[in-house]
Amino acid sequence: MKSAKSAELYDRASKVMVGGVSSPVRAFKAVGGTPRFISRGKKAHIWDEDGNRYIDYVCSWGALILGHADRRVLAYVSEKMRNGTSFGAPTREEVLLAEKIRGAFPSVDKVRFVNSGTEATMSAVRAARGYARRAKVVKFEGCYHGHADQFLTKAGSGMATFDLPASAGVTEGSVADTVTLPFNDLGAAEAEFRKEGDKIAAVIVEPVAGNMGVVPPAKGFLSLLRRECTKSGAVLIFDEVITGFRVGPGGAQKLYGVEPDLTTLGKIIGGGFPVGAYGGKREIMEMVSPEGPVYQAGTLSGNPVAMAAGLKTLELLTGGSYDRLERSSKTLEEGLESGASRAGTDIHLNRVGSMIGLFFATEPVRNYAEAKKADAGAYRRFFWSMLGSGVYLAPSAFEATFVSLAHDTGDIEATVESAARSFKELDRS
Protein backbone atom coordinates (compact mmCIF):
# COMPACT_ATOMS: atom_id res chain seq x y z
CA MET A 1 0.00 0.00 0.00
CA LYS A 2 1.50 3.33 -1.10
CA SER A 3 2.30 5.98 1.50
CA ALA A 4 4.83 8.27 -0.20
CA LYS A 5 2.59 11.34 -0.26
CA SER A 6 1.56 10.91 3.39
CA ALA A 7 5.24 10.50 4.32
CA GLU A 8 6.17 13.66 2.42
CA LEU A 9 3.38 15.65 4.08
CA TYR A 10 4.31 14.32 7.51
CA ASP A 11 7.92 15.38 6.97
CA ARG A 12 6.80 18.87 5.95
CA ALA A 13 4.28 19.07 8.79
CA SER A 14 6.88 18.05 11.37
CA LYS A 15 8.91 21.13 10.42
CA VAL A 16 6.06 23.60 10.98
CA MET A 17 3.59 21.86 13.34
CA VAL A 18 4.23 20.36 16.76
CA GLY A 19 4.73 16.64 16.16
CA GLY A 20 3.45 17.18 12.64
CA VAL A 21 -0.14 16.98 13.90
CA SER A 22 -2.87 19.02 15.60
CA SER A 23 -3.67 16.39 18.26
CA PRO A 24 -1.22 13.85 19.72
CA VAL A 25 -2.86 10.51 18.88
CA ARG A 26 -2.86 11.38 15.18
CA ALA A 27 0.94 11.09 15.15
CA PHE A 28 0.75 7.25 15.32
CA LYS A 29 3.22 7.17 18.24
CA ALA A 30 1.32 4.29 19.87
CA VAL A 31 1.51 2.13 16.75
CA GLY A 32 4.63 3.51 15.04
CA GLY A 33 5.05 4.36 11.38
CA THR A 34 3.78 7.23 9.29
CA PRO A 35 0.32 8.69 9.89
CA ARG A 36 -1.98 8.71 6.91
CA PHE A 37 -3.02 12.15 5.66
CA ILE A 38 -6.68 11.97 4.69
CA SER A 39 -7.90 13.77 1.59
CA ARG A 40 -11.61 12.96 1.56
CA GLY A 41 -14.38 10.79 2.96
CA LYS A 42 -17.69 9.40 1.72
CA LYS A 43 -20.12 7.29 3.71
CA ALA A 44 -18.08 4.68 5.62
CA HIS A 45 -14.87 5.24 3.63
CA ILE A 46 -11.91 7.59 3.66
CA TRP A 47 -9.11 8.10 1.12
CA ASP A 48 -5.58 9.17 1.92
CA GLU A 49 -3.34 11.43 -0.13
CA ASP A 50 -1.86 8.39 -1.91
CA GLY A 51 -5.32 7.29 -3.07
CA ASN A 52 -5.68 4.35 -0.68
CA ARG A 53 -9.24 3.68 0.42
CA TYR A 54 -10.13 2.50 3.93
CA ILE A 55 -13.24 1.43 5.81
CA ASP A 56 -13.19 4.00 8.58
CA TYR A 57 -13.91 3.08 12.21
CA VAL A 58 -12.53 6.28 13.71
CA CYS A 59 -15.36 8.38 12.25
CA SER A 60 -13.74 11.60 13.49
CA TRP A 61 -13.52 9.98 16.93
CA GLY A 62 -17.21 9.14 17.01
CA ALA A 63 -18.60 12.44 15.75
CA LEU A 64 -19.75 11.16 12.34
CA ILE A 65 -22.59 8.85 13.29
CA LEU A 66 -24.12 9.33 9.82
CA GLY A 67 -20.82 8.64 8.08
CA HIS A 68 -18.73 10.99 5.96
CA ALA A 69 -20.11 13.75 3.77
CA ASP A 70 -23.78 12.95 4.30
CA ARG A 71 -25.49 14.74 1.42
CA ARG A 72 -28.39 15.96 3.58
CA VAL A 73 -26.10 17.53 6.16
CA LEU A 74 -23.87 19.04 3.47
CA ALA A 75 -26.85 20.56 1.67
CA TYR A 76 -28.25 22.12 4.85
CA VAL A 77 -24.86 23.44 5.97
CA SER A 78 -24.10 24.84 2.50
CA GLU A 79 -27.40 26.68 2.51
CA LYS A 80 -26.68 28.23 5.90
CA MET A 81 -23.08 29.11 5.01
CA ARG A 82 -24.31 31.29 2.16
CA ASN A 83 -25.80 33.54 4.83
CA GLY A 84 -22.49 33.87 6.69
CA THR A 85 -20.17 31.79 8.85
CA SER A 86 -20.07 33.64 12.17
CA PHE A 87 -21.87 36.60 13.73
CA GLY A 88 -20.93 36.69 17.41
CA ALA A 89 -24.65 37.01 18.04
CA PRO A 90 -27.56 34.62 18.71
CA THR A 91 -29.00 32.60 15.84
CA ARG A 92 -32.12 30.52 15.28
CA GLU A 93 -30.17 27.27 14.83
CA GLU A 94 -28.69 27.30 18.32
CA VAL A 95 -32.16 27.66 19.82
CA LEU A 96 -33.43 24.72 17.76
CA LEU A 97 -30.41 22.58 18.68
CA ALA A 98 -30.77 23.43 22.37
CA GLU A 99 -34.43 22.39 22.20
CA LYS A 100 -33.40 19.10 20.56
CA ILE A 101 -30.93 18.41 23.34
CA ARG A 102 -33.37 19.28 26.08
CA GLY A 103 -36.00 17.04 24.48
CA ALA A 104 -33.61 14.09 24.41
CA PHE A 105 -32.11 14.60 27.88
CA PRO A 106 -34.75 15.08 30.62
CA SER A 107 -31.95 15.98 33.08
CA VAL A 108 -31.11 19.09 31.03
CA ASP A 109 -33.17 22.21 31.66
CA LYS A 110 -30.78 24.72 30.12
CA VAL A 111 -27.78 24.49 27.77
CA ARG A 112 -24.68 26.57 27.06
CA PHE A 113 -22.83 25.94 23.80
CA VAL A 114 -19.04 26.06 23.64
CA ASN A 115 -16.41 25.03 21.07
CA SER A 116 -15.01 21.73 22.34
CA GLY A 117 -15.45 18.91 24.81
CA THR A 118 -12.63 20.35 26.93
CA GLU A 119 -14.44 23.67 27.18
CA ALA A 120 -17.63 21.86 28.12
CA THR A 121 -16.10 19.83 30.96
CA MET A 122 -14.01 22.64 32.44
CA SER A 123 -17.02 24.97 32.33
CA ALA A 124 -19.30 22.37 33.89
CA VAL A 125 -16.89 21.88 36.78
CA ARG A 126 -16.66 25.64 37.28
CA ALA A 127 -20.45 25.91 37.38
CA ALA A 128 -20.62 23.00 39.84
CA ARG A 129 -18.07 24.62 42.13
CA GLY A 130 -19.90 27.93 41.96
CA TYR A 131 -23.18 26.25 42.83
CA ALA A 132 -21.89 23.95 45.59
CA ARG A 133 -19.46 26.56 47.00
CA ARG A 134 -16.87 23.83 47.47
CA ALA A 135 -13.56 23.09 45.78
CA LYS A 136 -12.89 19.36 45.54
CA VAL A 137 -13.58 17.42 42.32
CA VAL A 138 -13.58 13.62 42.08
CA LYS A 139 -12.65 11.96 38.78
CA PHE A 140 -11.76 8.40 37.76
CA GLU A 141 -8.70 6.67 36.35
CA GLY A 142 -8.87 6.17 32.61
CA CYS A 143 -11.69 8.68 32.08
CA TYR A 144 -10.54 11.55 29.86
CA HIS A 145 -12.27 14.89 30.23
CA GLY A 146 -10.09 17.03 28.01
CA HIS A 147 -6.83 18.84 28.59
CA ALA A 148 -7.80 21.42 31.22
CA ASP A 149 -5.20 21.51 34.01
CA GLN A 150 -7.49 20.13 36.69
CA PHE A 151 -8.07 16.92 34.69
CA LEU A 152 -4.42 16.14 33.90
CA THR A 153 -3.58 14.20 37.02
CA LYS A 154 -1.78 11.05 38.08
CA ALA A 155 -3.59 8.81 40.53
CA GLY A 156 -1.53 7.47 43.40
CA SER A 157 -1.89 4.16 45.16
CA GLY A 158 -4.72 3.46 47.55
CA MET A 159 -8.41 4.11 47.24
CA ALA A 160 -8.19 7.89 47.15
CA THR A 161 -5.06 9.99 46.68
CA PHE A 162 -4.53 13.66 46.15
CA ASP A 163 -3.09 13.88 42.69
CA LEU A 164 0.11 15.10 41.14
CA PRO A 165 0.34 16.65 37.68
CA ALA A 166 0.49 14.25 34.74
CA SER A 167 1.70 16.88 32.30
CA ALA A 168 4.52 19.39 32.27
CA GLY A 169 3.14 22.87 32.68
CA VAL A 170 0.43 21.76 35.12
CA THR A 171 1.21 22.95 38.64
CA GLU A 172 0.52 21.02 41.82
CA GLY A 173 -1.78 23.84 42.82
CA SER A 174 -3.88 23.26 39.69
CA VAL A 175 -4.70 19.71 40.74
CA ALA A 176 -4.63 20.16 44.52
CA ASP A 177 -8.42 19.92 44.67
CA THR A 178 -8.67 16.93 42.31
CA VAL A 179 -9.00 13.38 43.62
CA THR A 180 -8.76 10.39 41.29
CA LEU A 181 -10.39 7.06 42.15
CA PRO A 182 -10.37 3.70 40.34
CA PHE A 183 -13.16 3.45 37.77
CA ASN A 184 -15.89 0.95 38.71
CA ASP A 185 -14.63 0.68 42.31
CA LEU A 186 -17.76 1.16 44.40
CA GLY A 187 -15.89 0.75 47.67
CA ALA A 188 -13.38 3.48 46.84
CA ALA A 189 -16.16 5.91 45.95
CA GLU A 190 -18.07 5.17 49.15
CA ALA A 191 -14.93 5.59 51.24
CA GLU A 192 -14.11 8.95 49.68
CA PHE A 193 -17.61 10.27 50.36
CA ARG A 194 -17.51 9.03 53.96
CA LYS A 195 -14.21 10.84 54.48
CA GLU A 196 -14.63 14.05 52.45
CA GLY A 197 -18.27 14.21 51.32
CA ASP A 198 -18.91 17.68 52.70
CA LYS A 199 -15.94 19.04 50.74
CA ILE A 200 -16.76 17.54 47.34
CA ALA A 201 -18.16 20.02 44.83
CA ALA A 202 -18.55 17.60 41.94
CA VAL A 203 -17.99 14.10 40.65
CA ILE A 204 -17.23 13.90 36.93
CA VAL A 205 -17.31 10.58 35.11
CA GLU A 206 -17.63 9.12 31.65
CA PRO A 207 -20.68 6.88 32.22
CA VAL A 208 -19.18 4.61 29.57
CA ALA A 209 -15.43 5.11 29.50
CA GLY A 210 -14.29 5.67 25.93
CA ASN A 211 -10.68 6.68 26.41
CA MET A 212 -9.17 3.48 27.79
CA GLY A 213 -10.78 1.46 25.07
CA VAL A 214 -14.45 1.01 25.87
CA VAL A 215 -15.27 0.10 29.47
CA PRO A 216 -18.92 0.02 30.58
CA PRO A 217 -19.96 0.87 34.14
CA ALA A 218 -20.12 -1.95 36.67
CA LYS A 219 -23.53 -2.84 38.04
CA GLY A 220 -24.55 -0.24 40.60
CA PHE A 221 -21.56 2.06 40.00
CA LEU A 222 -23.45 5.00 38.46
CA SER A 223 -26.35 4.56 40.89
CA LEU A 224 -23.94 4.72 43.81
CA LEU A 225 -22.43 7.96 42.52
CA ARG A 226 -25.91 9.43 42.13
CA ARG A 227 -26.86 8.39 45.66
CA GLU A 228 -23.69 9.71 47.28
CA CYS A 229 -23.83 13.03 45.43
CA THR A 230 -27.44 13.52 46.45
CA LYS A 231 -26.65 12.79 50.11
CA SER A 232 -23.60 15.05 50.25
CA GLY A 233 -24.88 17.90 48.09
CA ALA A 234 -22.24 17.36 45.41
CA VAL A 235 -22.98 17.86 41.72
CA LEU A 236 -22.88 14.73 39.54
CA ILE A 237 -21.51 15.44 36.05
CA PHE A 238 -21.79 12.89 33.25
CA ASP A 239 -19.24 13.49 30.52
CA GLU A 240 -21.26 12.35 27.51
CA VAL A 241 -19.09 14.03 24.89
CA ILE A 242 -18.66 10.59 23.33
CA THR A 243 -21.79 8.75 24.46
CA GLY A 244 -24.30 11.56 23.92
CA PHE A 245 -26.53 10.57 20.96
CA ARG A 246 -24.04 7.74 20.30
CA VAL A 247 -25.30 4.94 22.59
CA GLY A 248 -28.89 6.13 22.22
CA PRO A 249 -30.99 9.27 21.82
CA GLY A 250 -30.80 10.02 25.55
CA GLY A 251 -27.18 9.04 25.97
CA ALA A 252 -25.77 6.71 28.61
CA GLN A 253 -27.92 8.28 31.31
CA LYS A 254 -31.05 6.99 29.65
CA LEU A 255 -29.44 3.64 28.84
CA TYR A 256 -28.54 3.04 32.49
CA GLY A 257 -31.41 4.91 34.10
CA VAL A 258 -29.30 7.34 36.15
CA GLU A 259 -29.75 11.10 35.83
CA PRO A 260 -26.82 13.46 36.50
CA ASP A 261 -27.08 17.08 37.57
CA LEU A 262 -24.96 18.31 34.66
CA THR A 263 -24.18 16.74 31.28
CA THR A 264 -21.41 17.60 28.83
CA LEU A 265 -21.84 16.94 25.13
CA GLY A 266 -19.82 17.28 21.93
CA LYS A 267 -18.93 15.37 18.77
CA ILE A 268 -22.30 14.27 17.30
CA ILE A 269 -24.09 17.51 18.23
CA GLY A 270 -21.71 19.32 15.84
CA GLY A 271 -22.11 16.97 12.90
CA GLY A 272 -18.36 17.05 12.23
CA PHE A 273 -17.73 20.68 13.19
CA PRO A 274 -16.01 21.89 16.39
CA VAL A 275 -18.58 22.02 19.17
CA GLY A 276 -19.28 21.34 22.81
CA ALA A 277 -22.11 21.95 25.25
CA TYR A 278 -22.92 21.65 28.91
CA GLY A 279 -26.31 21.70 30.50
CA GLY A 280 -28.37 20.48 33.38
CA LYS A 281 -30.55 21.52 36.26
CA ARG A 282 -31.95 25.00 36.02
CA GLU A 283 -30.67 26.11 39.43
CA ILE A 284 -27.10 25.14 38.54
CA MET A 285 -27.10 26.50 34.99
CA GLU A 286 -28.55 29.82 36.19
CA MET A 287 -25.29 30.30 38.07
CA VAL A 288 -23.63 30.89 34.70
CA SER A 289 -23.17 34.42 33.34
CA PRO A 290 -25.16 36.44 32.36
CA GLU A 291 -27.71 34.97 34.77
CA GLY A 292 -25.24 34.32 37.57
CA PRO A 293 -21.71 34.92 38.87
CA VAL A 294 -19.92 32.00 37.13
CA TYR A 295 -18.18 33.51 34.11
CA GLN A 296 -17.74 31.71 30.80
CA ALA A 297 -17.74 33.11 27.27
CA GLY A 298 -16.50 32.34 23.75
CA THR A 299 -16.28 34.22 20.45
CA LEU A 300 -17.33 31.26 18.31
CA SER A 301 -19.66 29.57 20.81
CA GLY A 302 -22.91 28.62 19.10
CA ASN A 303 -21.27 29.03 15.69
CA PRO A 304 -24.14 28.94 13.16
CA VAL A 305 -22.40 26.48 10.82
CA ALA A 306 -21.71 24.00 13.61
CA MET A 307 -25.23 24.46 14.95
CA ALA A 308 -26.71 23.77 11.52
CA ALA A 309 -24.64 20.61 11.04
CA GLY A 310 -25.56 19.31 14.48
CA LEU A 311 -29.24 20.17 14.10
CA LYS A 312 -29.55 18.35 10.77
CA THR A 313 -27.62 15.35 12.14
CA LEU A 314 -29.97 15.00 15.12
CA GLU A 315 -33.02 15.43 12.88
CA LEU A 316 -31.84 12.45 10.84
CA LEU A 317 -31.38 10.17 13.86
CA THR A 318 -34.46 8.10 14.68
CA GLY A 319 -35.27 5.06 16.79
CA GLY A 320 -34.75 2.98 13.68
CA SER A 321 -31.26 4.48 13.31
CA TYR A 322 -30.20 3.04 16.64
CA ASP A 323 -31.72 -0.34 15.79
CA ARG A 324 -29.58 -0.41 12.63
CA LEU A 325 -26.48 0.63 14.54
CA GLU A 326 -27.08 -2.11 17.09
CA ARG A 327 -27.43 -4.77 14.40
CA SER A 328 -24.29 -3.68 12.54
CA SER A 329 -22.25 -3.35 15.73
CA LYS A 330 -23.37 -6.72 17.05
CA THR A 331 -22.49 -8.38 13.73
CA LEU A 332 -19.03 -6.79 13.84
CA GLU A 333 -18.52 -7.81 17.46
CA GLU A 334 -19.51 -11.42 16.78
CA GLY A 335 -17.36 -11.55 13.66
CA LEU A 336 -14.28 -10.29 15.51
CA GLU A 337 -14.81 -12.78 18.33
CA SER A 338 -15.26 -15.64 15.88
CA GLY A 339 -12.16 -14.73 13.87
CA ALA A 340 -10.00 -14.46 16.98
CA SER A 341 -11.32 -17.74 18.34
CA ARG A 342 -10.54 -19.61 15.12
CA ALA A 343 -7.03 -18.17 15.11
CA GLY A 344 -6.47 -19.00 18.77
CA THR A 345 -5.93 -15.31 19.60
CA ASP A 346 -6.92 -14.08 23.04
CA ILE A 347 -9.07 -10.97 22.83
CA HIS A 348 -11.72 -9.41 24.98
CA LEU A 349 -14.36 -7.11 23.50
CA ASN A 350 -16.42 -4.53 25.36
CA ARG A 351 -19.34 -3.14 23.39
CA VAL A 352 -21.93 -0.55 24.30
CA GLY A 353 -24.14 0.18 21.32
CA SER A 354 -21.96 1.29 18.40
CA MET A 355 -18.83 1.71 20.55
CA ILE A 356 -16.44 -1.26 20.68
CA GLY A 357 -13.27 -1.72 22.71
CA LEU A 358 -10.84 -4.36 21.45
CA PHE A 359 -8.34 -5.64 24.01
CA PHE A 360 -5.72 -8.29 23.44
CA ALA A 361 -6.30 -9.75 26.88
CA THR A 362 -7.29 -13.04 28.46
CA GLU A 363 -9.54 -11.50 31.14
CA PRO A 364 -12.38 -8.97 31.04
CA VAL A 365 -11.37 -5.31 31.18
CA ARG A 366 -13.27 -3.33 33.82
CA ASN A 367 -10.94 -0.46 34.68
CA TYR A 368 -7.80 1.39 33.65
CA ALA A 369 -5.38 -0.93 35.47
CA GLU A 370 -6.79 -3.91 33.58
CA ALA A 371 -6.79 -2.00 30.28
CA LYS A 372 -3.07 -1.27 30.72
CA LYS A 373 -2.36 -5.00 31.08
CA ALA A 374 -3.66 -5.70 27.57
CA ASP A 375 -1.03 -6.50 24.94
CA ALA A 376 -0.31 -3.19 23.22
CA GLY A 377 2.24 -4.84 20.93
CA ALA A 378 -0.40 -7.22 19.59
CA TYR A 379 -2.73 -4.30 18.95
CA ARG A 380 0.05 -2.49 17.08
CA ARG A 381 0.62 -5.45 14.76
CA PHE A 382 -3.12 -5.93 14.31
CA PHE A 383 -3.56 -2.24 13.45
CA TRP A 384 -0.99 -2.35 10.66
CA SER A 385 -2.30 -5.60 9.27
CA MET A 386 -5.82 -4.16 9.15
CA LEU A 387 -4.59 -0.92 7.62
CA GLY A 388 -2.87 -2.91 4.91
CA SER A 389 -6.21 -4.64 4.25
CA GLY A 390 -7.99 -1.31 3.89
CA VAL A 391 -9.49 -0.99 7.39
CA TYR A 392 -8.72 2.16 9.37
CA LEU A 393 -8.84 1.60 13.14
CA ALA A 394 -7.85 4.00 15.90
CA PRO A 395 -4.03 4.27 16.04
CA SER A 396 -4.04 3.46 19.77
CA ALA A 397 -5.17 0.51 21.87
CA PHE A 398 -6.82 2.95 24.28
CA GLU A 399 -9.37 4.34 21.84
CA ALA A 400 -12.79 3.14 20.73
CA THR A 401 -13.94 1.62 17.47
CA PHE A 402 -17.01 3.47 16.16
CA VAL A 403 -19.65 2.08 13.81
CA SER A 404 -21.71 4.57 11.78
CA LEU A 405 -25.00 4.35 9.95
CA ALA A 406 -23.01 4.42 6.71
CA HIS A 407 -21.34 1.07 7.44
CA ASP A 408 -23.32 -1.40 5.36
CA THR A 409 -23.32 -5.19 5.30
CA GLY A 410 -20.49 -5.28 2.79
CA ASP A 411 -18.31 -3.04 4.95
CA ILE A 412 -18.88 -5.17 8.04
CA GLU A 413 -18.25 -8.44 6.17
CA ALA A 414 -15.05 -7.09 4.62
CA THR A 415 -13.86 -5.94 8.04
CA VAL A 416 -14.56 -9.33 9.63
CA GLU A 417 -12.72 -11.12 6.81
CA SER A 418 -9.72 -8.80 7.16
CA ALA A 419 -9.70 -9.28 10.92
CA ALA A 420 -9.74 -13.07 10.57
CA ARG A 421 -6.65 -12.90 8.36
CA SER A 422 -4.96 -10.44 10.72
CA PHE A 423 -5.61 -12.65 13.75
CA LYS A 424 -4.02 -15.57 11.90
CA GLU A 425 -0.98 -13.45 11.09
CA LEU A 426 -0.66 -12.57 14.78
CA ASP A 427 -0.81 -16.23 15.70
CA ARG A 428 2.01 -17.04 13.24
CA SER A 429 4.16 -14.21 14.60
Q: Give the per-residue pLDDT at 167.
A: 84
How many H-runs (helices) and E-runs (strands) does the chain carry?
A: 13, 17
Write down which residue in 316, 345, 361 finishes a domain. 316
Q: Is the pLDDT of residue 156 over 70?
A: no
Based on the domain organization, do 267 and 412 belong to the same domain? no
Structural domain boundaries enclosing 390: 4-65+318-428
The string of pLDDT tens digits covering residues 184-231 is 999 999 999 999 999 999 999 999 999 999 999 999 999 999 999 999
Quick one: CA dihedral 314, 316, 319, 321, positive or negative?
negative
Based on the domain organization, do 141 and 269 belong to the same domain? yes
Based on the domain organization, do 125 and 238 belong to the same domain? yes
Q: Give the per-residue pLDDT at 157.
A: 38
Based on the domain organization, do 113 and 167 belong to the same domain? yes
Q: What is the dihedral of CA 57, 119, 282, 290, to 10 degrees?
A: -150
Q: Give the per-residue pLDDT at 168.
A: 86
Q: How many domains does the chain have?
A: 2
Angle at 247 between CA 146 and CA 108, to 5 degrees: 70
With bands split at pLDDT 50, 70 and 90, how would you rate the model's confidence at 163?
low
Residues written for the chain: 429
Based on the domain organization, do 193 and 249 belong to the same domain? yes
Based on the domain organization, do 350 and 378 belong to the same domain? yes
- Per the CB < 8 A criterion, the answer to whether 207 and 240 are in contact is yes
Based on the domain organization, do 138 and 40 belong to the same domain? no
Pairing of strands 53-56, 161-162: unpaired
Average pLDDT, the chain: 95
Based on the domain organization, do 351 and 297 belong to the same domain? no
Report the DSSP beta bridge partners of residue 288.
Answer: 294
Q: In 241-303, where does DSSP find H-type helix? A: 251-256, 282-285
The string of pLDDT tens digits covering residues 111-154 is 999 999 999 999 999 999 999 999 999 999 999 999 998 898 86
Residues 6 or more apart whose Cβ sits within 8 Å of residue 24: none
Q: Give the per-residue pLDDT at 9.
A: 98
Based on the domain organization, do 330 and 304 belong to the same domain? no
- Per the CB < 8 A criterion, the answer to whether 261 and 237 are in contact is yes
CA distance 152 to 70: 36
Based on the domain organization, do 76 and 51 belong to the same domain? no
The CATH number covering residue 397 comes to 3.90.1150.10
Based on the domain organization, do 172 and 82 belong to the same domain? yes
The string of pLDDT tens digits covering residues 223-281 is 999 999 999 999 999 999 999 999 999 999 999 999 999 999 999 999 999 999 999 99
The CATH number covering residue 87 comes to 3.40.640.10
Based on the domain organization, do 163 and 205 belong to the same domain? yes
Write down which residue in 267, 284, 316 finishes a domain. 316
- Of 72, 71, 65, which is closest to residue 328 (Cα–Cα)? 65
Write down which residue in 293, 316, 339 finishes a domain. 316
Q: Is the pLDDT of residue 19 over 80?
A: yes
Could you list the active site residues?
144, 239, 267
